[in-house]
Amino acid sequence: MPDAQPAASAQEQEPELRLGTAADDSARDAYVRAHPKATFFHLAGWRDVVEREMGHEPADLLAFREGRLVGVLPLMRAPGPITRRSLISMPYAVYGGPIGDSRLVEQRLIEAAKDAAERGRAGRLELRCTEDPGLDLAPSELYATFVRELPRKPEDVLASMPKKARAEARKAREKHGLVLTEGRWYLDDFVRMFHENKRKLGSPGLPHSFFWSLCKRFGDDVRIHVVHRGRQPVSAVMSFLFRGDVLAYYSGAVDGADRECSASNFMYMALQEWAVREGHTRFDFGRSRRDSGAFTFKEHQGFTPTPLPYRFHFVRDRALPALTPSNPRTKILRDSWARLPRPIARRLSEELCRYLP
> Is 10's pLDDT higher than 70?
no
3-state secondary structure of 326: coil
pLDDT of residue 179: 97
Spatial separation of the C-alpha atoms in residues 1 and 18, rounded to whole Å: 20
pLDDT of residue 2: 42
Q: What is the 3-state secondary structure (H, E, C) of 112-174?
A: HHHHHHHHCCCCEEEECCCCCCCCCCEEECCEEEEEEECCCCCHHHHHHCCHHHHHHHHHHHH
Mean of per-residue pLDDT scores for the chain? 91
Residue 324 is classified by DSSP as: S
Spatial separation of the C-alpha atoms in residues 31 and 42, rounded to whole Å: 10
> Is 180's pLDDT higher than 60?
yes
Spatial separation of the C-alpha atoms in residues 294 and 94, rounded to whole Å: 15
Query: Which alpha helices (H) appear in 307-354, and where do they start and end?
Result: 331-338, 342-352
Parallel, antiparallel or unpaired: strands 86-89 and 124-127: parallel
Give pTM, 2 decimals.
0.92
Which of the two residues, 74 and 346, has the higher pLDDT score? Answer: 74
User: Is the distance from CB of 124 to CB of 314 less than 8 angstroms?
Assistant: yes
Peptide bond into 90 cis (omega under 30): yes
- Digit-coded pLDDT (tens) for 243-272: 999 999 999 999 999 999 999 999 999 999
Mean pLDDT throughout 301-316? 96
Helices then strands, each counted (H, E), the chain: 12, 17
pLDDT of residue 349: 67
Residues 6 or more apart whose Cβ sits within 8 Å of residue 51 = 57, 58, 76
- Residue 91 has a CB neighbour count (10 Å cut-off) of 25
3-state secondary structure of 59: coil
- Residue 135 has a CB neighbour count (10 Å cut-off) of 14
> Is 327's pLDDT higher than 70?
no
User: Is the distance from CB of 105 to CB of 70 less than 8 angstroms?
Assistant: yes
Spatial separation of the C-alpha atoms in residues 90 and 127, rounded to whole Å: 7
The four Cα atoms 347, 348, 351, 354 give a dihedral, to 10 degrees, of -120
Mean pLDDT throughout 151-166? 95
Burial degree of 111 (CB within 10 A; 0-12, 13-18, 19+): middle
pLDDT of residue 246: 98
Spatial separation of the C-alpha atoms in residues 185 and 197, rounded to whole Å: 20
Domains of the chain and any CATH numbers: 16-133+309-337 (3.40.630.30), 145-306 (3.40.630.30)
Amino acid letter, 56? H
- Digit-coded pLDDT (tens) for 270-295: 999 999 999 999 999 999 999 889 99
